[in-house]
A and B are shown apart, each in its own frame.
Chain A
Amino acid sequence: MSAHATPQRRFGFWRWVWLGLMILGGVLAWYVGGIWKAVPPAVVLPAEPAWPGLYLAPGLPFTNTMLSVLVASLLLFALTVIPVQVYVRSGREVPSGLYQLVEMAVEFFWNTTQSAAGKWARRIFPFTMTIFLYVLIVNLFKLVPIHETIGYTKIAHGNIQGYATVVVGGVHLLDGSRPYDAAAHAAEEGAAHGEESEYWHSPEPCENCEIVPTFRGAATDLNFTASLALITMLMVQVFGVWALGPGYFTKFINLRTIISKPFFGLMDFIVGLLELISEIAKILSFSLRLFGVIFAGTLLLSIVSTLSFGGVQPTVFFVPGLLVGLELFVGIIQAYVFSTLALTFMSQATVSHHGDEHSEAH
């Protein structure tokens, strides 16, 4: 058989198995109900502890988003460092497999950085590349089905809809067809209102429980995106000072021309202050963009896959699959946008605008 064989039409085995499982899941959710029914996850904005009582320090829980970041970082390490090491040690000429993918990504980014930053590319490149890979792996790891589904049980309160649980082999499974009727139990709840956010430890089935996930997408936590944005903008200032010296800060507090040309000097000063405000706005826009897109995507997936019309869930299979494809695309695009914006701001900071002003003034 030659290397360029004509593509054969294949009727694989596993694809039919997966399709059958999808249809089986839909049928079970529609006609059997109970634990097979999809339960909408309890949406809360702040991250929760990954396990009851898991605290790094008093008042500082080890959150489910932190656990997700940790696992994603290890995964990134395994997917980039190990293939490169294996390739380098093997001594082969022709790269293959994962190494090729890593090299392709690095080369693409190196070319982009070089065209944007010029001679500063060597210093800026490691930073933007790291941001890209980190955000990418975190966004892709978020789509692995262990997220938002596995966790520990907690008594639902407030606006969160609780469900009865079924215990199978010591594991609590939420029963989607038995939601807790809060209005009917309003009198009881009024009496026991003091004890909120109780964990459900007992092996008995729970009447009114929600699941707190152990894994949750890292970018659905504002802390993750805000810290990335803060580090990025700090590094922008560092590159600015590195390239232009202390004179970089005259971009913000511009007193150079205020004596010689009072009117235009004052205008320059105000423009400098605006520059300072826009620097702070960049932190805000960096963090809110990533957070908003990823959180909205998670919400969209959970809402669409648990849409219910009179107890029937028409979109419980197939439609979420398409949306996961969309989320895959959005995750890659957001990683690219974050790193490209960081690259643009950094290369802008290394360029002095002082020279242009002189030529324009005359």
Chain B
Amino acid sequence: MEFNELFRETMIQVARYLGAGLAVIGVAGAGAGIGIVVGGAVQAMARNPDYTPTIQTNMILGIAFAEAVAIYALAVALIILFV
């Protein structure tokens, strides 16, 4: 293999790893979002425990929506790494 070709392939690999790492930064926002959702839900459940089933269902839905953003970031990182 020629040097130029090797250099090019190595740089592409480097860019790939950097890109995947940068893409996964987006997960931080989803983490904060899930924290806020669960915090609010726990407070609500502590105030009126009778509504726990309803609150729990809505909490899980909210977590799913917040998590979806993290999953997009993860999917982008996986696609960068393995495609």
By a beta-carbon cutoff of 8 Å, the part of chain A in contact with chain B is: 43-45, 112, 115, 186, 190, 285, 288-289, 291-293, 295-296, 299, 333, 336-337, 340-341, 344
Contacts and interface: CB of A to CB of B under 8 A. Distances in A.
B1 A340 contact: no
Contacts of B68: 285, 288-289
B22 interface: no
A292 B60 contact: no
A83 B56 CA distance: 31
Contact of B82 (A44, A186, A292): A44
Interface of B: 1, 54, 57, 60-61, 64, 67-68, 71-72, 74-75, 78-79, 82-83
B60 A45 contact: no
A289 B67 contact: yes
A293 B64 contact: no
5 contacts: A289-B64, A291-B75, A292-B72, A340-B60, A340-B64
A292 B75 contact: yes
Nearest to A46: B83
B72 to A, nearest CB: 6
A359 B68 CA distance: 34
A285 B68 CA distance: 7
Decide if the interface of chain A is mainly helix, strand, loop or mixed.
Answer: helix
A159 to B, nearest CB: 8
A12 B74 CA distance: 42
B71 A293 contact: yes
Main secondary structure of the interface of B (DSSP, over half): helix
Contacts of B72: 285, 288, 292
Contacts of B60: 333, 336-337, 340
Contacts of A341: 61, 64
Given A44-B82, A186-B1, A337 B61 contact: yes
A292 B24 CA distance: 13
A44 B72 CA distance: 18
Nearest to A286: B68
B21 to A, nearest CB: 15
A288 B82 contact: no
A288 B60 CA distance: 17
Contacts of A344: 61
A292 B61 CA distance: 17
Given A288-B72, A292-B71, A299 B61 contact: no
A296 B78 contact: yes
B79 to A, nearest CB: 7
Given A288-B68, A288-B72, A289-B67, A340 B57 contact: yes
A341 B67 CA distance: 13
B60 to A, nearest CB: 6
Pick the most buried of B1, B72, B82: most chain A CB atoms within 10 A of its CB: B82
Given A289-B71, A293-B71, A341-B64, 5 more contacts: A285-B72, A296-B78, A340-B57, A340-B64, A344-B61
Nearest to B69: A285
**4 closest cross-chain pairs (CB), A and B:** A292-B71, A337-B64, A292-B75, A285-B68
Contacts of B79: 45
Contact of B75 (A112, A190, A288, A337): A288
Nearest to B82: A45
Contacts of A112: 57
A295 B54 CA distance: 30
A131 to B, nearest CB: 14
Most chain B CB within a 10 A radius of its CB, from A44, A288, A289, A295: A289
B78 A292 contact: yes
A189 B75 CA distance: 32
A333 B75 CA distance: 19
Contacts of A295: 75, 78
